[in-house]
Chain A
Amino acid sequence: MLLQHEVSAVGHPLAGTVAEWLWLLPLLPLLGFVINGLLSLVPATVLGPGDPDIAHGAEGAHGEAGHGVAVHAHDSADDHGAHGDDHHRVVRHRFAWLTSIVGPAVLAVAFGLAVAIFLAMRGVGEMSAPFVQRYFSWMPAGSLRIDAAFQLDQLSMVMILVITGVGTLIHLFSVGYMQDDPGYPRYFAYLNLFVAFMLVLVLGASYPVLFVGWEGVGLCSYLLIGFWFSEKANADAGKKAFIVNRIGDFGLLIAMFLLFANLGALDFVGVNEAATRLTFGGPLVTAICLFMFLGCTGKSAQIPLYIWLPDAMAGPTPVSALIHAATMVTAGVYLIARSSVLFSMAPVAGLTVTVIGALTAIFAATIGLKQWDIKKVLAYSTVSQLGYMFIGVGSGAYVAGIFHLVTHAFFKALLFLGSGSVIFAMHAAYHHTGSHEDAQDMRNMGGLSRYMRVTWVLMWIATLAIAGVPFFAGFFSKDEILGSVFLRARESTLADASWLGIPGSSVLYAAYALGLAAALLTAIYMTRMMLYTFHGPNRTGEKERDHLGEAPWIMTGPLVVLGVLSLFGGWLNLPALTSFLGPVGALDRWLEPVVGESARRVTSGVAPEPAHNVELALVGSAVAIALLGIIIAAVRLKPARLVPKAQAPEEHGIERVLANKYYVDEAYDRVVVEPTVGISRGVLWKGIDQGIIDSVFVNGSARLARGVASLGSWIQSGQVGTYAWVLVIGVLAVLGAFTIR
């Protein structure tokens, strides 16, 4: 890479600055992946200090030496995930100490570099063109010329800071959370690889390079969801995520083919330039955007492909925080913001994105109301919040979408890590008593605020942030999304277009209404989660209660940082209404060179400035909704009446439907999986494969050869007399033919 290093952006303001070290960003985590990957190949594990059961542990170590990979044996089958590992022994990897250093360190250095590049970007001031670095020609084929190139602009800068920043915190948390897992180096290898691919995704200067990262993070997601693969449910969840994502990737690939076939370019600079020459709202640009959005629905878990994300909670909790909340699942939002020129040219596609986003937001929020698994609540909350981001980017409020992406990364990572801390405590408590209760079920928690003060306070901060309570991070970003949808419903190219015969304006108003409703539900289910987890009486169990306690500082430290970010993340992009708090619209100005033109195309050239009273009304209603949700939850829910999971009564009616996630998985199973399996078995296997290919072509050709051969063998009797007869008949036939003619 270095040898062919050929910088083309000479003359760019960033040339010659620290931004030249751009390529090092993904390379650092990749280095971590190599080191940790090599360590994970060292098979033997040793007992951690203070393990009571030496014979047991030695047996486990022996089994792993035999397999050569860190597979840990299970001694309980009913474990629902929290660590997923065994309860009764501590098997620590021999090189855990090295992994603990390397894993977070590469990320920390990458974050430092990202900050340095950010400062360099701030230093050069106005930067209208992206800083592109070409390394080598990757796919030169005819008129197709794809370079392995990275590009740095304001949008990728935001993403890089989030990925490396939040990534570093989550890596640190993982040190505490995963240390006693025999697969510890393997875990960090995957996690580092994920960050490397995620950085490739946001740094790629063309769709194919982005796609490499896109697929790479999908791979790492698969590997980490199925991290505890010795349990079939976890391995299945990994497969589900992988397969569902392939459907989306097919859409993204088609979009790329269409782009190349019609625009002749695949790099962002070329596409953005050519895209403005397309027919506004024409079928071509709409098709490209819709196919691209199909890719986003897969990666970012939107209807109809959201089903993999809740199952992805089978992975370790820090993975859920990093991959399935903060970074990877937001790749779809990034892609749309990155392709904002295309999407601003296709109002119908933009409306589709908005509608899907709004539907996903409300749909997932309703499911989140009745989940008992603390991580499942957060998973559906993530799906719902991703829906919000899509409302933003779909309706042309690209900055609002990215803003929510960033704040969501803060508070959702905090929520997930907080839940990880809770699960850690629960698991440790059950571990001590050898109980096999579910450490993730909220019915087994309750009253934890007395045992884990820090986690409790920080989780409340994140909850208030996601609920949209004023002056927390989520309040500003969610408000900006809802506000921009409302304004664009009144006047924009989207409002003038029609979607499936419905005027775009009504669609956007509906999206706004759904967004508000989802905000109400968000406040309710998050408060519910907090009440059931941290308040009321404790339901963990008499003996276990004594072992509940706060997580070590390596885990609470990152939580505190994320808590601060969740508190002050909103300062990134303050609305005009709150100008007394600080500079207004910083992110707006920062992203202006990337998405400004597209955003103005959607709003017909004018920046939508709401009247003061309208803005007040919008903000007021959002705040009222958020507080209303919290109050409803606080008044209606009675944590005292809950019973532990084992004694919980069955649910009925709508509650049951919600707890079973609207039976969507079952419906997909019935509508998609079973017919596919049935057709595969009945038609493709028994019919075509066995019936036609095997019997006609394979065995048929053999039968034909045998028949022809037996005829030939019958003619070759070996009787000279017969041969003479045949000869004479032949001669006569030839002579006869000559004579008759």
Chain B
Amino acid sequence: MLAEAIFFSAVLFTIGVIGVLTRRNAIIIFMCVELMLNAVNLSFVAFARAYGVAGQIFVFFVMTVAAAEAAVGLAIIIALFRHKQTVNLQNINLLRG
């Protein structure tokens, strides 16, 4: 049971990573980040069955942080869109020196 859960978590995380690396759309990248967070949550829950309840407590924290991040992140993306009329990250390189 644990092995399947871990495997599933790993698959989800990898999909998230690939999504972050390959997609250009900020919203999709944002969703892939959420996917990675949830993959981690899944492994926490799975391990919690074997090693005690601490893992489940962590999951709550992660969900709270994810919610806050979603609020801030979406707000940034909206601000970006208003500014640049696009959410394609290839067109956004304000950090370039």
Q: Measuring CB to CB, which residues of chain A are less than 8 angstroms from any residue of chain B?
A: 712-713, 716-721, 724-725, 728
| Distance, CA A725 to CA B20, complexed state (A) | 9
Count of inter-chain pairs, beta carbons less than 8 A: 28
| Distance, CA A725 to CA B89, complexed state (A) | 14
Candidates B17, B92, B97; contact of A720 at CB < 8 Å: B92
Is A718 in contact with B94, judged by CB distance below 8 angstroms?
yes
Closest to A713 in B: B97
| Distance, CA A720 to CA B24, complexed state (A) | 10
Q: Map CB proximity to A onto B59-97 as digits: 1 under 8 Å, 0 otherwise.
A: 000000000000000000000000000000110111111
| Distance, CA A725 to CA B97, complexed state (A) | 19
28 contacts between A and B (CB under 8 A): A712-B97, A713-B97, A716-B95, A716-B96, A716-B97, A717-B93, A717-B96, A718-B93, A718-B94, A718-B95, A718-B96, A718-B97, A719-B89, A719-B90, A719-B93, A719-B96, A720-B89, A720-B92, A720-B95, A721-B21, A721-B24, A721-B89, A721-B90, A724-B20, A724-B21, A725-B21, A728-B17, A728-B21
Q: Is the interface of B mostly helix, strand, loop or mixed?
A: loop
Rounded to whole Å, the gap between the CB of B86 and the closest CB of chain A is: 14
Closest to A723 in B: B95
Closest to A721 in B: B89
Rounded to whole Å, the gap between the CB of A578 and the closest CB of chain B is: 99
Rounded to whole Å, the gap between the CB of A689 and the closest CB of chain B is: 36
Question: A716-B97, A718-B94, A719-B96 provided; 10 other pairs, C-beta below 8 A?
Answer: A713-B97, A716-B95, A718-B97, A719-B89, A719-B90, A719-B93, A720-B95, A721-B21, A725-B21, A728-B17
**CB-defined contacts of A728 to chain B, threshold 8 Å:** 17, 21
| Distance, CA A718 to CA B24, complexed state (A) | 14
Rounded to whole Å, the gap between the CB of B56 and the closest CB of chain A is: 26
Closest to A725 in B: B21
| Distance, CA A717 to CA B94, complexed state (A) | 9
**CB-defined contacts of A725 to chain B, threshold 8 Å:** 21
Q: Map CB proximity to A onto B3-25 as digits: 1 under 8 Å, 0 otherwise.
A: 00000000000000100110010
| Distance, CA A725 to CA B17, complexed state (A) | 10
Shortest Cβ-Cβ A-B pairs, 6 listed? A718-B96, A718-B93, A718-B95, A716-B97, A720-B89, A713-B97
**CB-defined contacts of B96 to chain A, threshold 8 Å:** 716-719
Q: Measuring CB to CB, which residues of chain B are less than 8 angstroms from any residue of chain A?
A: 17, 20-21, 24, 89-90, 92-97
Q: Which of B17, B90, B92, B97 has the most CB of A within 10 A?
A: B97
**CB-defined contacts of A712 to chain B, threshold 8 Å:** 97
**CB-defined contacts of A713 to chain B, threshold 8 Å:** 97
Rounded to whole Å, the gap between the CB of A460 and the closest CB of chain B is: 92
| Distance, CA A98 to CA B89, complexed state (A) | 91
Rounded to whole Å, the gap between the CB of B77 and the closest CB of chain A is: 12
**CB-defined contacts of B20 to chain A, threshold 8 Å:** 724
| Distance, CA A728 to CA B13, complexed state (A) | 12
| Distance, CA A724 to CA B20, complexed state (A) | 8
**CB-defined contacts of A716 to chain B, threshold 8 Å:** 95-97
Closest to B97 in A: A716
Q: Which of B90, B94, B95 has the most CB of A within 10 A?
A: B95
Rounded to whole Å, the gap between the CB of A403 and the closest CB of chain B is: 85
| Distance, CA A718 to CA B89, complexed state (A) | 10
Closest to B18 in A: A728
| Distance, CA A650 to CA B97, complexed state (A) | 79
Closest to A720 in B: B89
| Distance, CA A716 to CA B96, complexed state (A) | 6
**CB-defined contacts of B92 to chain A, threshold 8 Å:** 720
**CB-defined contacts of A721 to chain B, threshold 8 Å:** 21, 24, 89-90
| Distance, CA A719 to CA B93, complexed state (A) | 5
**CB-defined contacts of B97 to chain A, threshold 8 Å:** 712-713, 716, 718
Rounded to whole Å, the gap between the CB of B17 and the closest CB of chain A is: 6
**CB-defined contacts of A724 to chain B, threshold 8 Å:** 20-21
| Distance, CA A719 to CA B94, complexed state (A) | 8
| Distance, CA A718 to CA B20, complexed state (A) | 16
| Distance, CA A719 to CA B91, complexed state (A) | 8
Rounded to whole Å, the gap between the CB of B91 and the closest CB of chain A is: 10
Closest to B22 in A: A721
| Distance, CA A544 to CA B22, complexed state (A) | 108
Closest to A719 in B: B93
| Distance, CA A243 to CA B38, complexed state (A) | 86
Closest to B26 in A: A720
| Distance, CA A661 to CA B97, complexed state (A) | 73
Rounded to whole Å, the gap between the CB of B55 and the closest CB of chain A is: 21
Q: Which of A713, A720, A725 has the most CB of B within 10 A?
A: A720
| Distance, CA A359 to CA B20, complexed state (A) | 95
Closest to B17 in A: A728
| Distance, CA A199 to CA B21, complexed state (A) | 90
Closest to B89 in A: A720
Rounded to whole Å, the gap between the CB of B81 and the closest CB of chain A is: 15
Closest to B91 in A: A719
Closest to A715 in B: B97
**CB-defined contacts of B90 to chain A, threshold 8 Å:** 719, 721
Closest to B95 in A: A718
**CB-defined contacts of B95 to chain A, threshold 8 Å:** 716, 718, 720
| Distance, CA A725 to CA B93, complexed state (A) | 15
| Distance, CA A718 to CA B21, complexed state (A) | 15
**CB-defined contacts of B17 to chain A, threshold 8 Å:** 728
| Distance, CA A503 to CA B22, complexed state (A) | 99
Closest to A714 in B: B97
Rounded to whole Å, the gap between the CB of B57 and the closest CB of chain A is: 26
| Distance, CA A728 to CA B90, complexed state (A) | 18
Rounded to whole Å, the gap between the CB of B62 and the closest CB of chain A is: 19
| Distance, CA A716 to CA B95, complexed state (A) | 8
Rounded to whole Å, the gap between the CB of A715 and the closest CB of chain B is: 9
**CB-defined contacts of A717 to chain B, threshold 8 Å:** 93, 96
Rounded to whole Å, the gap between the CB of B5 and the closest CB of chain A is: 21
Rounded to whole Å, the gap between the CB of A713 and the closest CB of chain B is: 6
Rounded to whole Å, the gap between the CB of B92 and the closest CB of chain A is: 7
Closest to A716 in B: B97
Rounded to whole Å, the gap between the CB of B89 and the closest CB of chain A is: 5
| Distance, CA A721 to CA B89, complexed state (A) | 8
**CB-defined contacts of B94 to chain A, threshold 8 Å:** 718
Q: Which of A716, A721, A724 has the most CB of B within 10 A?
A: A721
Closest to B92 in A: A720
| Distance, CA A29 to CA B82, complexed state (A) | 90
| Distance, CA A32 to CA B2, complexed state (A) | 108
| Distance, CA A301 to CA B73, complexed state (A) | 91
| Distance, CA A559 to CA B20, complexed state (A) | 108
Rounded to whole Å, the gap between the CB of B90 and the closest CB of chain A is: 7
| Distance, CA A720 to CA B22, complexed state (A) | 11
**CB-defined contacts of A718 to chain B, threshold 8 Å:** 93-97
Rounded to whole Å, the gap between the CB of B32 and the closest CB of chain A is: 10
| Distance, CA A223 to CA B93, complexed state (A) | 71
| Distance, CA A712 to CA B96, complexed state (A) | 11
Rounded to whole Å, the gap between the CB of B47 and the closest CB of chain A is: 19
Closest to B24 in A: A721
Rounded to whole Å, the gap between the CB of B75 and the closest CB of chain A is: 17
**CB-defined contacts of B89 to chain A, threshold 8 Å:** 719-721
Rounded to whole Å, the gap between the CB of B3 and the closest CB of chain A is: 19
| Distance, CA A547 to CA B79, complexed state (A) | 106
Rounded to whole Å, the gap between the CB of A293 and the closest CB of chain B is: 68
Rounded to whole Å, the gap between the CB of B20 and the closest CB of chain A is: 6
